[in-house]
Amino acid sequence: MISVNAVAPGPMDTPFFYGQETPERVAFHKSQAMGNRLTLIEDIAPVVLFLATDGGWLTGQVLFPNGGYTTR
C-alpha cells in the first residue's frame, strides 16, 4: 500500500525566510498565526513522526501545522 500525504507548514522561522522578506513582511506573517510567531521545526517534527508511525491509516491528506496561519 502506498500512502501519500503532505505537510504544509506555511512561513517558517528559518534563515532562508528572513533573507527573502522585509522586516515589515516578517511582522505581518508573524501576526497571522497563533502566538504571533512563525512555524518552528519543532512544530513540524511531531507531525512528520506521526505520519511515519501511527498515521499510517491516513492517505491523501495535507496537514497544516502552522498555528492557524491559513485560517485567518
* pLDDT tens digits, one per residue of 6-63: 999 989 999 999 999 999 999 999 999 999 999 999 999 999 999 999 998 999 999 9
The pLDDT value given to residue 71: 60
The pLDDT value given to residue 3: 81
Q: 58 has which bridge partners?
A: none
pLDDT bin (cut points 50, 70, 90) of residue 72 is low
The answer to whether the predicted template modeling score (pTM) of the entire model surpasses 0.95 is no
From CA 38, how far away is CA 31, in angstroms rounded?
9
The answer to whether the beta carbons of residues 5 and 63 sit under 8 Å apart is yes
